[in-house]
Amino acid sequence: MAKDLGKLVHMIHVFRGHRVMIDVELAELYEVTTGQLNQAVSRNITKFPGDFMFTLTKGEKEELITNCDKPQRFRFYPALPKAFTEQGVAMLSGVLRSSRAIEVNIAIMRAFVRLRNNMFSQRELTKKILDFEARMDGQDENTRQIFEALRQLMAVEEKPKSRIGFVRE
């Protein structure tokens, strides 16, 4: 499962400001049908508040189909897909109660952590670039002034050297 970490990261989508995984893809990972996964959730609905799981709207489903690598997964799915946040995915392993669910859950948690770490390092890089840009602000003017001073030094007229000794007319 660890070698599929990159694949899992690509299964994480963003809806309503949350990173989520869709029930169809989760069912595939847990090796159950989508119906079985959703039935387990329905039986334990109190474990899945709105910040753990929500149902996508028709517009969000269309967005998912448009942006997904394999849109056929969702295109012919009759119901609106359910989206599970990181906490919802963690709760799924307890609801499904299988060794496969635990294994998949661990891999998914690692994928979420990897995404979070990538986001942190990107934020750090952005901050460093902005700091550098702030330090460099005004350097163009400083450079221009240095070249202007050099031009003035080079422009000093050289007086013709007077010859030493007697001059004949």
Residue 164 lies in a domain: no
8/1 Cα distance (integer angstroms): 9
The mean pLDDT value for 18-23 works out to 90
* Token digits of residue 75: 């295109």
152/144 Cα distance (integer angstroms): 12
* Token digits of residue 143: 């450079």
Residue 136 lies in a domain: no
Residue 154 lies in a domain: no
Residue 151 lies in a domain: no
For 44-70, write each residue's pLDDT tens digit.
999 999 999 999 999 998 888 887 766
The pTM for the full model equals 0.61
Beta strand 53-55 with 18-22: parallel, antiparallel or unpaired?
unpaired
Residue 58 lies in a domain: yes
Residue 113 lies in a domain: yes
Number of separate domains in the chain:
1
23/88 Cα distance (integer angstroms): 11
Comparison of pLDDT for 162 and 46, the residue scoring more = 46
- Does the pLDDT value for residue 13 go beyond 60? yes
Mean pLDDT of the chain: 79
Q: Where in the sequence is the domain holding 55, given as residue range(s)?
A: 2-127
Residue 147 lies in a domain: no
What pLDDT is stored for residue 12 in this prediction?
85
33/26 Cα distance (integer angstroms): 9
Residue 142 lies in a domain: no
Comparison of pLDDT for 144 and 60, the residue scoring more = 60
